[in-house]
Structures are given as structure tokens and as C-alpha cells.
Amino acid sequence: MVETFEHTADLGLRVCAASLDELFAEAGRGLFSFVVENAGEIQPRITQFINLKADTLDDLFFDWLSELLYRFDAQQLVLCRFDVQVSGLSLVAKVAGEPVDRARHRFLREVKSITYHGLVIRQSGQHWEAEVIVDI
């Protein structure tokens, strides 16, 4: 489950999932749903791999979303598939998407950055929850 919430001039992303791996994957899908109105039409034409390590789980989540945003901004890629494996404070992911095509991809808003403000990841019962604010 992914939902948004308002936060002053920014936008929040709230994610719930059964596992930590799926939480990170859902957050990736949620990030691109902020950016691309028709995210369901993104094709998995290009596959890339991401390896990250961090000092805390919060840092790993922040770094993950920042890396996805970097690939959008610097490489002009929109992503639609996220196969994520989190082990301790490390992440290995296989992501897929395609180059930006302004004739096909309708953009909703510009995400400038991921923030630490209000960032939280917690296990609640048998599922995981995360909240993060993005600067738009």
C-alpha cells in the first residue's frame, strides 16, 4: 500500500508492506507515481542493478529513494520494476524501466529531493511501515 499526504509545501509518502524488501519496492513505485501520471505505462526495457550500504535503516531507505531520483534526473530513466533484497543494513536491487519519452510519459510534478524530515521506518506487528517527505 502506498499513499500520499500533504506536508506544507512538500509531499509525503506513506508505505506499508508485509516485508522490508517489499516496503522498499513499494516506496520506489510510490516515488515514480509522484512523478509520472501514467506510471503504469512505463515499460521495463532497461535493467540496472543498485547496491547500497548504510549505517542505519533510515539512512538505507533515504539512500534508496535518493538513488532512484538520481537515475531519473541524471540518466533520464523512469522506473517501473523494483526487485529489492534488504539484508541488515545493505540493499541489492534490480530495477527496470525505460528512457523518458515526453510524448508518452505525462509528468505530474518535479521531485527536487528526498528529505530526512519526518522519515521513519518501523515494524508494526507483522508488517512494515515507512513515511518520508519529498521536496517538490
90, three cell numbers: 545493505
**CATH number, domain containing residue 43:** 3.55.10.10
CA distance 24 to 57: 11
Read off the pLDDT of residues 16-66 as tens digits, 9 standing for 90 and up: 999 999 999 999 999 999 899 999 999 999 999 999 999 999 999 999 999
The per-residue pLDDT for range 74-119, each reduced to its tens digit, is: 999 999 999 999 999 999 999 999 999 999 999 988 888 999 988 9
Rg (CA), the chain: 14
Contact (Cβ atoms closer than 8 angstroms) between residue 66 and residue 74: no
The helix or strand, by DSSP H or E, that contains position 69, with its residue range, turns out to be helix 57-75
Q: In total, how many domains does the chain have?
A: 1
What global pTM score does this model have?
0.91
Query: Is residue 15 within 8 Å of residue 129, measured between CB atoms?
Result: yes
Nearest-angstrom CA–CA distance, 89 and 30: 22
User: DSSP code of 15?
Assistant: E
Rounded Cα distance between 30 and 80, Å, is 10
Range of the domain at 19: 2-135
Q: What is the DSSP letter of 44?
A: -
User: For position 129, what pLDDT does the model report?
Assistant: 96
